Amino acid sequence: MRLSEELIWRGFSAETTIQDPTELDTREVKKFYWGADPSADSLTIGNLAAAMMCACFVRHGYEPTLLVGGATGQIGDPKENGERDLKSLDEVEHNKKCIAEQMRRVFRQDDIRVVDNYDWFKEMKYLEFLREVGKAFSMTQLLDRQFVQNRIGEGGSGISYAEFSYTLIQGYDFLHLYRKYGINLQLCGADQFGNCSSGIHLIKRLEGAKADAWSTPLIIDPATGRKFGKSEGNAIWLDSKKTSIFDFYQFWLNQTDEAVEYLLKIYTLLEKDEVEEIMAKHQTNPGQREAQKALARGVTEVVHGKEATEAVINLSERLFKGGLEELTSDEICEFSEFLATAKKRTGLFEVLVKTGLCTSKGEARKLAAAGAITVNGVKVAEDAPISQTAIVKRGKNKFAVVV
C-alpha cells in the first residue's frame, strides 16, 4: 500500500494544501516536521493519533523532525475559550525532554532530529521579528482566524497580544526549518492547520517557494463525543506514571464494538488485511472481543513495548480470574510496575484517593459501605491503615497496589 493510500485508509486525512494525495508518493523532498507543545511532561492519546500519522510517513521513507516548542510553550497555543497559564523555563525544558523520548519510541527511531524553537528565538530582537515576520501579514488575515473570532466576538474572553502572536511564531518556525533543513512539509492535527498556513505564507512571501501542510482529523471519543486529550478532562497519558500501563491497556480493551475498527486503523501498526481478518472474527463472535484485544495489545506495544504489553496481559488475566487472597507478597510487588501504588500503613480511603480509584474520601466511604471495595479479595467497609502488601480493588475492574 502506498503512503497516500494508507493515509486515507487509516483516516489520517483532513485539511491539506496538497490537491492530489498521490503527490506524497513521489515527492522529491521527503522531509516533514511535526510540532509538540510542551505544556505537560507527557503526550496523551489525542497527541498519539497525530504521532501515528507521522510514523506512517516515516515507514514510507520520510525523514522526520520533531519540534518541541520551548519558545511557543512559554506563550501557549491559544485555546478557544481563554488564556493558558504560562510555564517556567525549567518546566518547559523538563517537558521537552520527556516528550522527545516518547516520540522516539512511537517513531521507532533513536536518531530523530529534535529541535527547540527557543534556540532560534532566544537571540532574536523584537524589531527584527516585526520587520521580517510582522510585515508579511495583514491584520485582516490574522483577525479572520476562527480562534481569534471566538475569543474577541460577543461573549468571548478576549485574547492577549502574546497569544494573538502565537501563529506568527509558529509560522516563523516553518520558515526557519525550510531555510536550515529544506523541510517543506508540516504535519499536524486539524486544529493546527491555520497555524501551519502562516508558515506556508511566510515561505512563499519571503523565499518564493512552495510549502505544504497535511493534517489529520481530531479523534473523538465514540462513547462520550468528546475530544481525546488532556484538556477535555478524560486524559489517557502515554507516561505510565500518569496513566498506569494496566489502566492504559484496559482503556483500549473496553472500547465499544462500534468504535473498535476505527481505532484499530489509527492507533495500531496492523496492516489492512490483518484488520479485516480481525474484524471478520469479531463479527462472527463479538463476545470474544477479539478486536478489542487486538486494539489493546497493538496500542500498548506502540507506547510501552512488547515486553511490558505481555506482562500487563498476563496481569489482567490473573486479576480477573479471582483468587486475589491467594497471591503472595512477592507476586503483588511484581504488579506495582503496572498499577498505581501507595505505601503500606496508609489508610484505605487515602489509598483509594491517592491511586485514583476514588476522587475523594467521601466517595471512598460510600463505596466501601456499599461493599464495592476489597483488599486482597476481602470486602472492607471501614477506613483503616493497610499494613500488609495488598491488592486493592474497586468494583469489577479498577485495581491498585499497596507495597
Residues 325-372 pLDDT 10s: 788 888 889 888 899 999 999 999 999 999 999 999 999 999 999 999
- The pair phi, psi for residue 54, each rounded to 5°, is -60, -40
Q: Is the pLDDT at 230 greater than 60, yes or no?
A: no
> What integer pLDDT is reported at residue 78 of this predicted model?
56
Residues 6+ apart with CB under 8 A from 102: 42, 43, 238, 239, 303
Residue 192 phi/psi, 5-degree rounding, is -105, 0
Helix runs in 146-267, H state only: 146-152, 161-164, 166-181, 193-202, 245-253, 257-267
Helix (H, G, I), strand (E, B) or coil at 259: helix
66 φ, ψ (degrees, to nearest 5) = -100, 120
- H/E stretch holding 102 reads helix 89-107
Phi-psi region of 36 (alpha: psi -120 to 50; beta: other; left: phi over 0): beta
Alpha-carbon dihedral 188, 191, 196, 197, rounded to 10 degrees: 140
- Looking at the predicted structure, is the pLDDT value of residue 84 above 80? no
298 in Cβ contact with 268 (< 8 Å): yes
The answer to which of 69-73, 276-280, 381-385, 397-401 has the lowest mean pLDDT is: 69-73
Q: Which of 213-227, 244-258, 386-400 has the lowest mean pLDDT?
A: 213-227
Give dist(CA 116, CA 94) in Å, integer.
12
Cα–Cα nearest to 230, from 364, 45, 50: 45
What is residue 89's predicted lDDT score, i.e. its pLDDT?
78
What integer pLDDT is reported at residue 111 of this predicted model? 80
Does 203 have pLDDT greater than 90? yes
Judged against a pLDDT cut of 70, whether residue 254 lies above it is answered with: yes
DSSP structure class, residue 322: S
Q: Beta 31-36 vs 398-402: how paired, if at all?
A: unpaired
Residue 164: per-residue pLDDT: 81
Cα separation, 249 vs 300, whole angstroms: 6
Q: Which of 68-72, 248-252, 315-319, 395-399 has the lowest mean pLDDT?
A: 68-72
pLDDT of 85 above 70:
no
Q: Out of 188-192, 323-327, 341-345, 371-375, pick the least confident.
A: 323-327
The per-residue pLDDT of the chain, averaged, comes to: 90
pTM, entire model: 0.87
DSSP-assigned states of every residue in 9-66:
HHT---SBS-SSGGGGGS-SS-EEEEEE--SSSS-BHHHHHHHHHHHHHHHTTPEEEE
Span 271-295, average pLDDT:
97
